[in-house]
Structure 1
Amino acid sequence: MLQIVNQTPLATGFSFFTDKTGAERVTLVVKAQLNLPADGEAVSLHPDPCEVLVQDLYHGEPGQSSLHLAGELVMEKTATDVALVGSAVAPGGIAVPQMPVSLTIGAQQHRLLVSGDRTWKQDLSGATEPVPFETMPITYERAFGGTLPPVKEDQAPAYCPENPVGTGFATKRAEARGAALPNIETIDQPLTHWQQKPPVAGFGFIDTSWQPRMALVGTYDETWQRNKAPLLPDDFNPDYFNAAHPDLIHQPFLQGGERVILDGFHADGPRTFTLPQLQLSAAFNLAGSKHPTAFDLWQVVFHPNQNRFTMAWGAGFAFGKMPSRLREVVIVDRNQFFAAAPSLGSAQSSEVPS
């Protein structure tokens, strides 16, 4: 039996994986749900328990909608995913036709332009004036992209491979006339012409079937079927496991301690705070020999309208092809950042079949 000893008050999850060499790996994820503090307040653990997500969650039907949250229990990550799930909120709660929003973490600022509903004019000379709004969901359904209905039954539909569920994608003038424009755009590349193909804008997660993630999955052809299946192909790129918008993938890993500014998500102004800096480590006990491994910060997800955010750290260990040798894993926070907090979302010690 494998025993997981969690000496932190945080949620934990683990899973076994087989890498492309055939070696067995175990991945551990530790997750905290935290209060989004008002200016001047300290970050604290949220009272509601959280769980490590083992699968992707969607805004609607999988394959027909964008990712709401990405599964956190993956084989590995090469960088920190940062995402924001929520809506733009007009200053003072007074409707506006357009407003900027921004997410700043460390030295990087990510800005979007949010507009009210509008359409292309029938002569395609420009767009109608945006309708004022008080709140606007920041989802890929409202960013540039989309899928067009096929002209013929046996014809594949034209679509935007970076965002097939979006708005504004057109290949012909007739498709663009009177069509909706995206509400969410990059602040320096707004849509000004119906033939323009701007970058997909957003703060959310990218689906596994969308580009650029899909290009990283590797080649599954007859050669792979004959020589490698069911292992991952040799050209599989582990960057595939990073699910954030490409602009929000932080490499090297964030460490905690970074300053965060969320602007445009609260009626009373921006929120400024510092990410907690935990020093998590795991000791893997293999038949008497201990192997210490540090955790990396895998994911930070802000939910500003709910005044909370989550952080997830991951650690992995490859133990060859003998999983029965792995007896115990001990998880500790060396600086005991939340030492006084009650346990949230995980047992302190548990046994699982090996």
Structure 2
Amino acid sequence: MTPLPTIPALRFDNRTVFDALHFDTIDQHDIGFHVIVAKIGYRLGLCDERGQAQLQPLDTPAALYTEDRFHEDRVECSVRVESDLAPYKPRCDVIVLGDAHAPGGRPAKSFDVTVRVQMPDQPALLPEPPRPLNPFQPISGTVRRQWQSKLAGAADTRTPGRLLINKSVRVTGPRELRRAGVLRPGWQLTSPSPVVKIPLRYEYAQGGECMVDGGSVAASRVPEQWRLTPEQQSNYGHMPVAPAAHGACEYNPTGRGFAPEWYLKATRTTRLPAPQLEYLDVPFSARMFARCSQGKSELVPAGLGFVGRAWLPRRKLVGTIDPSAAWYGDDVPRLPGDFDFAYWNGAPHDQQCDHPAGGEQVTLVNLSAPDAPFARDGVVRFRLPHERLFALGVNATDAVAATPLSIDTIIIDTASARVEVTWRLCLIADGEFAEVRLLHASTPEQLQRLQHWNSPEQTQDSSFVA
């Protein structure tokens, strides 16, 4: 086993009121990095005359999540929030927690919910200049020209009002899959019952698992190829009797609508709960259910929360794992050589966007109670604040680097009227500096000075005062 690389120590001094921490990591090439992560929490305040909810700082700063948390505090359920201890997220995750509410609070058989993120009408900040992971590395002439080119094209990339995320999901009331009679063979999907609200959880989306009890009559009808081996059954020691067979949808094992043909025949099932969340362009149907049961297609889960780390397609981003590798004692497994850091983005792909700069408009439709004080006619609108967290460091020659953190996670919980924003910075651990301070810039003057400081034309010296 190749020893881990030595990572120089870094003293982290948090000069803000926000929860923040520093940890070290290595990538798939055994290069060490310092990671700084912090969180700012807000309360959704009252709407103004334009229907905009005002984000107000929490009385008690929001805490970082140091582990994944599941709905109902049960690991069998879908993930509610993921740990903030990710080394790097290439894009920003936008997550919505809470319930889907029928328009006007009136029962409906189906309705749509929408999450939308748009560029601000007038971006307050210009695009960040390209910078090396080592903030003290001189900015080359090539980088200067790249930045100037990016500024020239900013009208295209930062078009006022440009949609960064625009996602809709259809919600239905309870409905069932029923096996039809002799005159109409096959499966039928019942019409949904009216509903006022349902939880925004993957338990209501396409997916699920099926299990045949080991001591049941159905166990004897499970074909040999689908039966668990004795070794596999040993993993079910927490159950009184190990199952005879167990299958799950790899795209969402917590959902509903998944039932392979071998399971249906063994259990002689005639009724199943159907999904209540679906993409508008991929509606669930009895035909889809039949094709999936026969292994001819896959279910397509729709949701607004975190995708499970072990679910497809996210799991593929881990890369190629050597099945023959063995780990002993204090060995630390290395990342596969083809590991993709997009794995750390836990939101569905259509809920990821470029790292926000502040001022972006967020709109939620039918994702809050109609009488919520922060909503108007079932629509929540708010803008991300114009502020920055940045790390200030000084090297041995008294050169100063002020490096902004990036927003890479936004969690909107309409049930608790909270918005949590996670900021992150990844610096190469090359020993260039021994200490960094985390600082907060929120006034227009502070933000302008910080942006001027990061301009490639700016001379970096120790005279900068945050």
Q: Identify the TM-score tier after normalising by the shorter chain.
A: 0.7 to 0.9
Alignment match of 1:180 (pick from 256, 270, 273): 273
Q: For residues 239 and 28 of structure 1, what CA distance do their matches in structure 2 show?
A: 18
The CA deviation at 1:69 is 0.1
Equivalent residue letter for 1:206: V
- TM-score scaled by length of structure 1: 0.85
Q: Which residue of 1 aligns with 2:310?
A: 209
- Is the partner of 2:311 in helix, strand or coil? coil
The CA deviation at 1:104 is 0.8
Q: For residues 181 and 232 of structure 1, what CA distance do their matches in structure 2 show?
A: 39
Q: For residues 15 and 425 of structure 2, what CA distance do their matches in structure 1 show?
A: 15
Please say if residues 170 and 195 of structure 1, whose CA atoms lie closer than 8 Å, have aligned partners that are also in contact. Answer: no
Q: Which residue of 2 aligns with 1:254?
A: 356
Give CA-to-partner distance per residue, 1:253-278, whole Å, 9 cap, x none.
Answer: 22222111111122241011211132
Change (3 A) 1:255 1:198: farther
The CA deviation at 1:305 is 2.1
Change (3 A) 1:256 1:176: farther
* More helix as a share of residues: 2
Aligned positions of 1:61-76 closer than 5 A: 63-76=75-88
Please say if residues 168 and 176 of structure 1, whose CA atoms lie closer than 8 Å, have aligned partners that are also in contact. Answer: no
Are 1:275 and 2:378 counterparts?
Answer: no
CA RMSD of the aligned region, Å?
2.6
Q: Which residue of 1 aligns with 2:115?
A: 103
Aligned positions of 1:1-354 closer than 5 A: 3-37=11-45, 38=47, 39-60=51-72, 63-106=75-118, 107=163, 108-123=165-180, 124-149=186-211, 151=222, 152-154=227-229, 157-172=246-261, 177-193=270-286, 194-195=289-290, 197-221=298-322, 230-250=333-353, 252-265=354-367, 266-268=369-371, 269-285=378-394, 290-320=400-430, 327-336=434-443
- Is the partner of 2:301 in helix, strand or coil? coil
The CA deviation at 1:161 is 0.8
Please say if residues 302 and 310 of structure 1, whose CA atoms lie closer than 8 Å, have aligned partners that are also in contact. Answer: yes
Q: Which has the larger radius of gyration?
A: 2
> What is the aligned residue count?
333
Change (3 A) 1:29 1:96: same
- TM-score scaled by length of structure 2: 0.66
Q: For residues 132 and 302 of structure 1, what CA distance do their matches in structure 2 show?
A: 26
Equivalent residue letter for 1:232: L
- Is the partner of 1:29 in helix, strand or coil? strand
Equivalent residue letter for 1:242: N
Q: Which runs of 5+ in 2 are unaligned?
A: 1-8, 119-162, 181-185, 213-221, 230-243, 292-297, 372-377, 447-466
Q: For residues 55 and 436 of structure 2, what CA distance do their matches in structure 1 show?
A: 28
Of the structure 1 ranges 7-16 and 26-35, higher mean CA displacement relative to structure 2 is found in 7-16
Q: Which residue of 1 aligns with 2:450?
A: none
Q: Which has the higher contact order (CA 8 A, sep 6+)?
A: 1
Change (3 A) 1:130 1:48: farther
Please say if residues 224 and 233 of structure 1, whose CA atoms lie closer than 8 Å, have aligned partners that are also in contact. Answer: no
Identity over aligned pairs, percent: 26
Please say if residues 17 and 61 of structure 2, whose CA atoms lie closer than 8 Å, have aligned partners that are also in contact. Answer: no
The CA deviation at 1:285 is 4.2
Equivalent residue letter for 2:388: Q
Please say if residues 99 and 113 of structure 1, whose CA atoms lie closer than 8 Å, have aligned partners that are also in contact. Answer: yes
Equivalent residue letter for 1:140: Y
Equivalent residue letter for 2:179: Q
Change (3 A) 1:61 1:176: farther
